[in-house]
């Protein structure tokens, strides 16, 4: 069996930045263990498998090197890029998922791809897990949680950039991941808030750019900053820019993408 494969750098306009995801279009789903093996072999944050139901409707599943993932934003962006740029897709795309409902995607005239996610604003945690505090070198000023992760809010942007973490401690928070975040410096006009994302229990130590968590970060910071349109920066070694907009019960997250590789998988 031969399968097409694409590797796309998401949330960037420059190769080797943003977050790389593999995309594998399928006619029929492969056995889960085969998809997991392909994802492990790719050894990227995620591999997205897409199955076409019609010209504008696809099923999508995401696998990290370790496990199948409920929701992945950057691999959805990468899959959308492949559909628009490589498979001839036009207009709005609907991705059907098993855990977060339908995800709707559109392409702007400038090439930026906009994804509509369910609003997953976090709630304040009254009892902060000791393992979370032990896993971070900086003590957060507030901790929140949604279905995906703990949100550790830091006092300053520099706290987020300088923070170190203990993967073994954070792994004990499974199935939840950890995002650390802060308001951007007052003299920074390029973005409104900053974050870093750690997921040792589900995929790896630090994720380069995490689209899905902005379904929670954007509505949180929209309330804090009293604005519905925000620009976010994920401060990993590769870095990534995300454009966010709050629209009722949806969070619109958009970004650019760049093709790195097109090839064939032999099974």
Q: What is the pLDDT of residues 4-42, one digit of tens each?
A: 999 999 999 999 999 999 999 999 999 999 999 999 999
pLDDT at residue 187 is higher than 80: no
pLDDT for the residue 209: 96
Asked if 211 contacts 74 with a C-beta cutoff of 8 angstroms, the reply is yes
Please pick, among 2, 41, 46, 229, the residue that the annotation labels catalytic. Answer: 46
Q: Are residues 159 and 82 in the same domain?
A: no
Q: Are residues 127 and 67 in the same domain?
A: no
**What is the residue range of 178's domain?**
123-247
Q: Are residues 39 and 107 in the same domain?
A: yes
**Greater model confidence, 139 or 187:** 139
Q: Are residues 85 and 128 in the same domain?
A: no
Q: What is the mean pLDDT of residues 49-63?
A: 97
Q: Are residues 102 and 132 in the same domain?
A: no
pLDDT for the residue 117: 93
Q: Are residues 62 and 91 in the same domain?
A: yes
In angstroms, rounded to a whole number, what is the distance separating the alpha carbons of residues 263 and 34?
A: 18
pLDDT at residue 144 is higher than 80: yes
- Strand 257-266 and strand 250-255: pairing? unpaired
Q: Are residues 133 and 210 in the same domain?
A: yes
Q: What is the mean pLDDT of residues 86-112?
A: 94
Model pLDDT for residues 194-235, shown as the tens digit of each residue: 999 999 887 778 999 999 999 999 999 999 999 999 999 999
Q: Are residues 114 and 85 in the same domain?
A: yes
Q: Are residues 142 and 88 in the same domain?
A: no
Q: What is the mean pLDDT of residues 43-65?
A: 96
DSSP symbols for 138-162: S--SEEEE-SSEEEEE-SSHHHHHH
69 beta partners: 62
CATH of the domain at 144: 3.10.310.10
Model pLDDT for residues 151-181, shown as the tens digit of each residue: 999 999 999 999 999 999 999 999 999 999 9
Q: Residue 165 carries which DSSP code?
A: B
In angstroms, rounded to a whole number, what is the distance separating the alpha carbons of residues 102 and 83?
A: 17
pLDDT for the residue 186: 72
Number of domains in the chain: 2
Q: Are residues 87 and 101 in the same domain?
A: yes
pLDDT band at 52 (very low <50, low <70, confident <90, very high): very high
pLDDT for the residue 188: 66
Q: Are residues 78 and 49 in the same domain?
A: yes
193 beta partners: 183, 232
Look over the chain and give the mean of its residue pLDDT values, rounded to a whole number: 95
Q: Are residues 129 and 236 in the same domain?
A: yes
In angstroms, rounded to a whole number, what is the distance separating the alpha carbons of residues 48 and 214?
A: 19
Asked if 241 contacts 233 with a C-beta cutoff of 8 angstroms, the reply is yes
In angstroms, rounded to a whole number, what is the distance separating the alpha carbons of residues 108 and 143?
A: 35
Q: What is the mean pLDDT of residues 47-74?
A: 95
pLDDT for the residue 204: 74
pLDDT at residue 56 is higher than 80: yes
Asked if 267 contacts 232 with a C-beta cutoff of 8 angstroms, the reply is no
229 assigned to active site: no
The full length of the chain comes to 267
pLDDT for the residue 201: 80
């Amino acid at each position: 069996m031969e399968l097409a494969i694409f590797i796309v750098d998401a949330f960037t306009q420059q190769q080797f930045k943003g977050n790389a995801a593999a995309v594998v279009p399928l006619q029929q789903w492969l056995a889960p263990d085969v998809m997991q093996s392909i994802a492990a072999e790719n050894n990227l944050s995620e591999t997205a498998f897409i199955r076409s139901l019609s010209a504008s409707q696809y099923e999508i599943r995401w696998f990290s090197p370790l496990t199948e993932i409920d929701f992945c934003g950057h691999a959805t962006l990468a899959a959308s890029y492949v559909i628009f740029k490589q498979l001839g897709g036009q207009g709005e795309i609907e991705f059907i998922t098993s855990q977060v409902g339908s995800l709707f995607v559109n392409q702007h005239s400038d090439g930026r791809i906009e994804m509509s996610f369910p609003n997953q604003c976090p709630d304040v945690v009254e009892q902060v897990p000791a393992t979370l505090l032990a896993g971070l070198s900086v003590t957060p000023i507030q901790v929140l949680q949604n279905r995906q992760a703990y949100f550790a809010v830091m006092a300053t942007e520099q706290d987020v950039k300088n923070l170190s973490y203990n993967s073994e401690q954070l792994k004990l928070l499974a199935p939840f991941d950890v995002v650390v975040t802060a308001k951007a410096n007052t003299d920074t006009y390029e973005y409104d808030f900053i974050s870093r994302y750690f997921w040792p229990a589900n995929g790896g130590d630090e994720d380069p750019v995490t689209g899905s968590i902005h379904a929670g970060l954007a509505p949180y910071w929209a309330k804090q900053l009293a604005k519905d349109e925000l620009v976010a920066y994920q401060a990993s070694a590769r870095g990534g820019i995300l454009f966010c907009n709050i629209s009722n019960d949806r969070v619109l997250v958009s970004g650019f993408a760049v093709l790195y590789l097109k090839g064939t998988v032999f099974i």
